[in-house]
Each structure stands twice: as structure tokens, then as C-alpha cells.
Chains A and B, each alone.
Chain A
Amino acid sequence: MDANHLDRRQLLAALAASTVTPFAAFQAQAQAPSFAGRKLITSGFGGSTMDIIQSAVFSPFDKESGAASTQVPMQSAAALARMKAEAGNPQIDMYQFSGGQEAFAKDEGLSQPLSGVSRLATIPADLKDPDGHWVTWAVIAEGIVYRKDKIQTPPKSYKDFFKPEYKGHIAFPAITNGYGLDFLVMLAKAYGGSEDNIEPGFEALKKIKGETIFRAASDLPTLFGQGDIWIMPYDTGNTFKVQQSGLPVAFATPEEGSPAVFITACVAKGAKNADVANAAIDTMLKPEAQIEIARTMRWTASNPDTKLPSDLAGEVPAVGQLAKLNRTKINSMRAAWTERWNREIAR
């Protein structure tokens, strides 16, 4: 399977190369820095996600630049804790985050501005840091995941979680999981609130607090397969993973909107291989890499120049269709909401 992907990408690269003028090709090559003998240590998301990112981004990058890239598996939150603990003398050059940690990293002075990332300019302003500390290189769409065989009409709204016929078959992630936090915000929005008025979210969540609450995405296949769960808030990428494990689940886009989760990259302050990291981030923003990520993981591309083939376009929502939550506000309220959630929902 991997070999297949490589072939396909090589083909794409060859096609791309054949369409540009020789001069441009020469220029591109001259710009490509050589990192022969250099290393790049980056945090990674673990499991098959890490493998796919390795083969779609880092392996081609290594081949082009001569660097040797290694991903260290760490969940975003743990990665940020390590980044903070290693402040000043980092072992890891580059970090990938999926839960808004990049904003904390910048605030705590743990990251440094990207430099020499040529494709940064093409990324829309709402997908990157105004000071250039981080950039979104992929986007995941959140929504509702449900069992097709148990729920015939696809859920349309976050309000569907309160249908009496689903009682006892609902699951949702804890607030420490980023998706649990967004679920709270989206419930607030569904019932007339917002990031600034979270009250309706807590009110709604209280009504289903007796349902299954889980912490990690790794529980998903077991929840659907063994736990008699029919409906939960999650994302396109994991829906795809659960489908691949043979379970009849589907993803539904709620009318309140599909919140966008940013997959970001940033460089640690004081990183020994900051230049290699910047070059790798540029590779991550390449349309070819982003198409590959969309094909293998159903993640949405962040680079507007990425043109998905028609068979994929229907499967992966475009960035423009997704709801952008007020992440600054959410990040600032996170600790307070967590305290409240622990007391009112998890007890």
C-alpha cells in the first residue's frame, strides 16, 4: 500500500515537473537547501497517523534534502509539557499539535517565528499565527459519528444527542480531550450560547452526563464494537479509521457547523535544527503532500492551491465549509471550564 502511494506521488511530482519551465525547475532546485548529514527530530501523533505523515511528508523531504527525520510519538498535550520542560535546550526541534497547544507555546515563549517557509504566504491568515510562530498544515472536521445500522436517518444537529431513543447509547469525550471541549462549545451554540456564553452548553451537557464519557480516541472502535454506542461527537479522520476496522459508522455534518481542528507545526525556541524544521514545514504545505494526507486520512488541506481529485473532493470537506471557533477565547477559558466540567459533569 505504501509503495502504491509513493508511486502515485512520484507520478504527480513527475507531472508537476514536466509542466513547469526548465528555468523554474532549476531555480526550485537551487533553492532547495542541502541538509545532508543533518537530523530533524519532531513530535508526532503516533500510530498509523505518524506512519502516513512519515511517508507523505518526511520521507520525500529526507530524500530531497538529505536530512534524517524522526518523529517522536507524543499526544499534543504531553508534547507541550515536554516542550515546556525542555525550554532553552530542546531535544525536539519541531512540534506538531492538534489541540490549540501552539498558542500556549507561543505565549510561554517556547516557539520561534518560522523563517524561510516560502509557502507560508499562500496560507490564509486565519490558519496561521500573525507573528508567524505557527502554521496550520492540515485541518480536521469535527461532527457527529453514528452507527448506520442503528440510526437510519443521519443526525442533523447537536440537538440530536437528546433524542430519547438514543438514551444509553451516547458517548462523548472528556473535556481534557480537545473534542470534548469543542462539544461543550457547540452545544452552547446549538442552544443559543457561544464561546462567550457557555452556560447553555453546560445546561445541555448535564442532561446527558449519565452517558458514557471516554478520554482517548483509541477507545472509539471498542466503544462502537463492544460498548453498544450509537452516536458520539468526533471527527472525519477517526470515522474513517473506525470504518476501516469493519464497523458500520458514518460521519454527519451538523447544521450548527463542523468545527475545524487545526493541525499545526511550530519550531522550538533554541532548536538545534531549526533550519531543517523550517524546510520540512514548507514541504508539509506542498499541495502534493496535502493531497496525499487527504487521501490517506481524510484530513482537509490548508493550502488553498491544493486541488483535490474529484473522487476525494466529495469525501473531504473544504476549509471554507468548516466553522472556525474562537480559539483565543476557548484557550483562555479552558482551565475554568475544566474545573467546572469536573465538578458538574464527571461527578
Chain B
Amino acid sequence: MTQAAQSGVNGRPLWRSALVPVLLFAPCVLVYAIFFIWPQASLLGLSASDKAGLTLDHYGRFAGDSYYWDILGRTLGLGLAVTVITLLLGLPTAYVLARSQSRWAGFLLLLTTFPLLVSAVVRSFGWMVLFFKDGLVSKALQSLGLASGPVQTMYTMPGVIIALAQVLLPLMVLTLHGVFKSIDRDLEYAAMSLGARPSVALWLVTLRLARGGIVAGSLLVFSLAISAFATPSLVGGARANVMATAIYEQTVELLDWPFGATLATILLVTVLGLSLAYGALIEGREKMEARP
């Protein structure tokens, strides 16, 4: 089952077969240990200490305050909304581009990455122009009869969702595209010859095969949406408080590093827990199904 076991059969000593994976992991683990775990552990460690020593007071402050629970809830909601939008639009886009016979497919794929080329600051100013009362969005809504008066999307949570989903959609498309490309078309054929009706069933089969990519893409987009700072701050203004803006406020504006670290730790643990559970759920189901 495992590589080690297989190699053991071939008669090689165990330490030699463990050497390859250790060497493969070494550079990444080294970089992470020095430049991520060490610095972040010492910063996040502030969350459990004050001048007197160890304390859980900062966590108590969070737990006892509905204001911060609201912020955590709003952050997760933002992540969820952005993930759903990017999945809904990203799946068709990635699929169409992966299966298109056109010579322009690759070109179009790269075109989707353009929002990532624009600095977050400038991108927010672009949205500002569209989102203000006199902006294009407001005018479009009014002329479509969807709004009776001027609508301001700037400095609102829906504005943040729209702006974030736009810049994260390319990441979803790129992740899914790689997976769709790697799915053997023969598998799709096979499914069809087994009697699946062309369109819908085929689409479902494809989605099933691409499940790993869907998990990866949604976790990527979700993580980035809940940790984004520039867009919620610039497009959301003062009313769209999320964890990242609250962390900024505590760390930079109020210089309360222990509490800023507390918020960061809570965000990290919550999301790690959620994504481990999500990953385990999907992979677990895959294993169950793989069993004869």
C-alpha cells in the first residue's frame, strides 16, 4: 500500500526508501519552519500572554463579546458567498475553456487573470467609480427598473462580495482548468457509452471526476476571501468589518498586539478546522466509494 512497504518488498532498507520523501519535503519544511512557524508562533503566542505571564483573558474578551462573534460570522459568510459565486461562474468557464477546440482558449484563460494584474488599491478605485450613487451600477439598476432611486453599493457588504469574487474568480478558473484538462476524455466517453445521456449526466460525471479540484478551488478562494484586507477595507469602508480589518485595527491603529494576535489565532484555527473537516469529508467519501 505505501511506498515504504513496496520498497521493503524489493529488498531495500527502510531508511533509504524514507530518504526520498524526506528530501522532497526538506526545502519546504525548512523555509516554513524559519520564515513562517517561528515568527508567527512567537507573534500568535502574544495572544496567550500579558505582562504577568500566561493568560486566557484575550480569548475571554473575544468569547464574551457578541460584537466579535458577529465579525467572525460576517467573515465566514463573506467567504462562503464569494466561494459560491466563484464556483457557479468558475465551473462553466473552466470547463468551456478546457474542452474548447478553439485556438483562443489558452488566450482567453490568461485573459481571466487580468484582475490579478491590477493592484488591489487601483481595483478598488475602479469599483468605487461603478458603485457610487452616480455610478454605472446604480444607473443600470434604475434603468432596468430594479431600483426606484439611486443605489449606493460602495461601502456595503454586497459591494465587498462582488469586488472580492471578481478578483478571486480567476483563481477558481485556473485551479479547475488544470483539473478538467487532466481528466481523460475517454472517461467521459466511457460514462456516455455506459448509457449516460449526453449533457446532464456527462456534466455530473465530469464534476465528480473533478471533485478534488472543486475542493481545492473552493478552499483556496475561501481562505483568500476570509483573510483579504484591502478590498473589505477600501470597498467596504467602516461598516463592513471583518476579521482582517479588525486585526488591522487592533494591531496597527490601536497597537494592541496581544488582542490582534488573538483574533488572528481564532481565524486561523476556525478555518483550519473547517478545511480539514471539509477535506476529510470529501476524501473519506472517495475512499468509501473506491472500496469494491
Contact = CB atoms under 8 A, between A and B. Distances in A.
A215 B238 CA distance: 6
A227 B132 contact: yes
Nearest to B134: A226
Given A80-B255, A335-B254, A215 B133 contact: no
A108 B125 CA distance: 36
B233 A81 contact: no
B67 interface: yes
B50 interface: no
Contact of B67 (A80, A222, A342): A342
Contact of B252 (A78, A334, A335): A78
- Top 3 nearest A-B pairs (CB, nearest first) are A174-B238, A213-B238, A226-B132
A255 interface: no
A334 B254 contact: yes
Given A81-B255, A338-B254, A346 B155 contact: no
Q: How large is the interface on A (under 10, 10 to 19, 20 to 34, 35 or more residues)?
A: 20 to 34
9 contacts: A80-B252, A80-B255, A81-B252, A176-B249, A213-B155, A214-B155, A219-B128, A222-B129, A334-B254
Given A80-B255, A84-B255, A215-B233, A226 B135 contact: yes
B132 A222 contact: yes
B254 A343 contact: no
Interface string A314-347: 0000000000000000000011001000110111
Contacts of B249: 176, 338
A346 B134 CA distance: 23
Interface in B216-236: 233-234
Contacts of A226: 128-129, 132-135
Contacts of A80: 252, 255
Contacts of A78: 252
B125 A81 contact: no
B155 A338 contact: no
Interface in B131-161: 132-135, 150, 152, 154-155
Nearest to A178: B253
Contacts of A345: 238
B239 interface: yes
B67 A214 contact: no
A228 interface: yes
B237 interface: yes
A334 B252 CA distance: 13
Interface string B50-94: 000000000000000001000000000000000000000000000
Nearest to B67: A343
A79 to B, nearest CB: 9
A81 B125 CA distance: 26
Interface string A237-267: 0000000000000000000000000000000
Interface string A183-212: 000000000000000000000000000001
B241 interface: yes
Contacts of A81: 251-252, 255
Contacts of B154: 212, 227
A151 interface: no
